[in-house]
Chain A
Amino acid sequence: MAEGAALPIETLADPVTGRSLWVEARGRLLNNKAAVTSIVVLGLIAIACIFGPFFTGHPFDQVYPDYVKVPASLEAYPKADQITPQIERIGARVRGKPEDIQVKGDSVTVTLVGQRPIDERLLAYFDRSDMFGVAKVVDKADEGKRLVVDVPLKKKYFLFGTDTNGRDLLTRTMKAGQISLAIGLLATFVAILIGVVYGATSGYLGGRADLVMMRIVDVIYSLPFIFFVIMLVVFFGRNFILMFIAVGAVEWLDMARIVRGQTLSIKRQEYVQAAEALGVETKGIIRRHVIPNTLGPVVVYMTLLVPKVILLESFLSFLGLGVQEPNTSLGVLISEGAKNIQGATWMLLYPSLTLIAILFCLNFIGDGLRDALDPKDR
């Protein structure tokens, strides 16, 4: 006489297909505004990180020596106050004193006055600068001692500013987001794959097998994580793939424990005993009965594991054990930003905001999933 709020459905009207618990959970998830917003925002961030670098106009490893640590701005660079000093610098190299600098729209007209005739080949210095295009001589006077030069401006946008090497921070943040999300998802996937299979097997077999398998987990647990990573780095050298191995090798332990606990209670369920009475093999029971029923908590844990892994990666990169230049990750960017917090706050601000946005979204999605999959709602 189990009697709760939900009444048994006595009449089932349309007989075609049933609504699985997953479908019902999806319905509940879609009713959760915070979770849906987070999914949309996270999706947009992911799309921006993957495709954004093609549209910013800057390769992620392009260095602009003339734009070192320029602040974030919606206006195009070069700014008016940057042009004159730069032309003066070039003038010194060309051995001509710039006079009468006039900025007209997309080009600058400047008169170079030298003590000797100016070598026009030296005008290539304009093109080598990040600010200007190929200079064109408009007028010559005084036997070439006086040159009127028309220089087109190269307009560049640095929406997030640039870093200490003069690289576009927007592109680098997107690249970093790519790498952080990839590490987060892949390492989580690896951790969950190992953890679920290991935990379900251990829990279902029980007895001595369970004891041995869980003691192995305990032993790996007791290794200090940083020590473990440093050891891997020493043996195999710095490598992007090491990140997955290191993070995955540590994070599956939690997953295995969670799944084992779930399995222990599922094992007592009558549907597992019914399968045993049918003669289903251990493999079949674990695959068809145990694992599908542990997936609720696993999915929730996964959304919480992704931010954890991203933070771990950030931490390793912060220590210099992670991703290497010119590749980058959010952890690397934040670490650099922290060093330059005086005078270049944008270097810390934008990567941090991106990381925060990703973590917030993942946490809200995790909360939403937990509510949606809560077995008490059934």
Chain B
Amino acid sequence: MADVRSTGPVLTVRNLNVRFRTGDGILHAVKGIDLDVNAGETVAIVGESGSGKSQTMMSVMGLLASNGWAEGSVKYRGDELVGLSPEKLNRYRGSKLTMIFQEPMTSLDPLYRIGEQLALPLTTHGGMSKAQARQRAIELLELVRIPDPQRRIDSYPHEMSGGQRQRVMIAMALANDPDVLIADEPTTALDVTVQARILELLADLQKRLGMSIVFITHDLGIVRRFADRTYVMKRGEVVESGATAEIFAAPKHPYTRMLIDAEPTGRKEPAPAGAPVVLDARDVRVSFVLKSGLFGKPLHVLNAVDGVSLTVREGETVGVVGESGSGKSTLGRAVLRLQQASGLVRFEDRNLMPLDRAGMRPLRRHLQLVFQDPFGSLSPRMTAGEIVTEGLLVHEPRISRKDRDRRAAQAFEEVRLEPAWRNRFPHEFSGGQRQRIAIARAMILHPKLVVLDEPTSALDRSVQKEIVELLRDLQKAHGLAYVFISHDLAVVRALSDEIMVMKSGKVVERGSADAIFEHPQEDYTRDLIAAAFLKERESAIAAFPA
């Protein structure tokens, strides 16, 4: 934690209102909030999606979307920022106030070398020559601990990993010695182990450079560890603020309490011993040819899944854990035969490998899939009811339209959605509701095995908890077998009987959930758990009895 230097406020926000003109009238996104950032301290703004936390800081930076506008007062060391023209605002932003964003993949321009992108703020704000700017850029890359900065400065963004890109973004933000660094969910898109290193870097930089950091996040673990003071936002209002330690020790507002308790808790009841095996996969291999020779001879092959075996019994959940690129999603698709693979996959007593697409079709109703992105997995031009009943068109083509509608209503009830909403379109639902629709689409066919590919990763914590509970209840009611793919160890632990840890297409460790969490054997597993529990709170840990 950085030392709090009492040199007074750098950034003062008073009665800030942000409104957006939308097709449905005016949306009041930020409702008269007050906020102070003192020199050298870390302030966290916490809230779920739609709470207005990002829009608050976007308006400070003058980066609101064109249909939005801000009213009120934002003062940087006494200078009013609201209502300044972009030219005048540019004297502050990029030099004194800087910002890093959530998505390191799209925040850098893919057409320019990172050196050129780093030099831009130095030449425009710092008035440096090109050679000086390059020298400084190398220093900055060193500062954010990019190995071999002399060489990496001439890389293009696509040549770097997500974590490295986020480091470049941080270097860019630090270029002109800012007073305030605004970090908008800087680690959300990154793997847990990378996340931990980026947070460490930010904390260390703050200590050395003495700037203030405004941390916008939904992740209470990060807040607890890094922030001096915290503002909790809900629907455009600050519902609670104060020293982080106090807020966590004694949350006053029910919303804060709800956020703190929103970690998925509880455990799955173990599956009955001797339950029949639903899915048995042996030595599954998936490889992609990245580069092939003149006559189609593969030159460079990526083994995405490299000899993985997996057995799931009725009522059992196997958790597959790993970072991005570990092959866990590909494995999920391969066992459903949605991805060409070699090896042996048996469903109940049938070998799936020799079946072609048409041969698989009758079995599809037993093997279902739920995706990560509740925004992308529902066709935007179909109503929720049509989406949910599409499987019936394929597998029970005889039933009438009326019956289908009735089944849709039942499925909606089962996933605890208002059945009358089935005539609505996906964009009219929130993220959690959409994920329920996606689950209903899988459940309407009464499947035996469901592959859940990060079903909770795109959701807010409080919604995550509900979805985890829903999945657990559905499993209990129908004796479903789950393959649960996730990078989020807290969720995996709350749902799984068995856990497989994957790295680079191989299983590095497997065992019962308890064994993996309490006695991890491999370094990689230990890293994952350490990185995850860095952001886990004691109450969540306490929920997993030793």
A residues at B contact (CB < 8 Å): 1-10, 12, 15-22, 24, 27-28, 269-271, 273-281, 284, 288-289, 292-293, 295, 377-378
Contacts and interface: CB of A to CB of B under 8 A. Distances in A.
A21 B361 contact: no
B441 interface: yes
B425 A8 contact: no
A27 B23 CA distance: 8
Given A3-B54, A274-B441, A18 B424 contact: yes
A15 B373 contact: no
Contact of A12 (B102, B387, B421, B438): B421
Given A8-B50, A270-B376, A18 B338 contact: no
B336 A21 contact: no
A3 B427 CA distance: 14
Nearest to A24: B23
Interface string B61-77: 00001011000000000
Contacts of B107: none
Contact of A2 (B336, B383, B458): B458
B375 interface: yes
B430 interface: yes
Interface string B365-383: 1011101110111111111
A1 B390 contact: no
Contact of A280 (B390, B428, B460): B390
Given A1-B102, A5-B22, A18-B428, A278 B394 contact: yes
A265 to B, nearest CB: 11
B338 A279 contact: no
B379 A8 contact: no
Interface string B408-446: 000000000010110111011111000000100100010
B430 A271 contact: no
13 contacts: A1-B185, A1-B188, A1-B218, A2-B375, A3-B54, A9-B428, A17-B424, A18-B424, A22-B381, A27-B23, A281-B394, A288-B379, A293-B381
A273 B333 CA distance: 10
B369 A271 contact: no
A22 B49 CA distance: 27
Contact of B379 (A10, A28, A289): A289
B423 A16 contact: yes
B517 interface: no
A273 B394 contact: no
Given A5-B22, A8-B50, A27-B23, A277 B431 contact: no
B427 A378 contact: yes
B49 A274 contact: no
Q: Which of B363, B368, B376, B418 has the most CB of A within 10 A?
A: B376
B211 interface: no
Interface of B: 20, 22-23, 27, 29, 49-50, 54-55, 65, 67-68, 102, 185, 188, 218, 336, 338, 360-365, 367-369, 371-373, 375-384, 387, 390-391, 393-395, 418, 420-421, 423-425, 427-431, 438, 441, 445, 458, 460
Given A18-B425, A271-B376, A277-B369, A2 B49 contact: yes
Pairs of residues from A and B, 10 with the lowest C-beta to C-beta distance, nearest first = A279-B364, A18-B424, A15-B420, A8-B430, A270-B377, A7-B50, A292-B381, A277-B369, A271-B379, A279-B361
A22 B418 CA distance: 24
A171 B367 CA distance: 67
B67 A5 contact: yes
Nearest to B50: A7
A219 to B, nearest CB: 25
A281 B361 CA distance: 8
B384 to A, nearest CB: 8
B49 A293 contact: no
A275 B372 CA distance: 15
Nearest to B427: A378
B328 to A, nearest CB: 16
A289 to B, nearest CB: 5
Contact of A18 (B27, B373, B423, B430): B423
A279 B391 contact: yes
B431 A8 contact: yes
Given A3-B50, A8-B431, A281-B361, 19 more contacts: A3-B54, A5-B22, A5-B27, A5-B29, A5-B68, A12-B428, A15-B420, A15-B421, A15-B424, A17-B423, A19-B424, A21-B380, A270-B377, A271-B376, A271-B387, A277-B338, A277-B368, A279-B365, A280-B394
A3 B390 CA distance: 30
Nearest to B369: A277
A92 to B, nearest CB: 75
A310 to B, nearest CB: 30
A116 B110 CA distance: 100
Contact of B429 (A9, A15, A292): A9
Contacts of A22: 381
B381 A21 contact: yes
Nearest to A276: B338
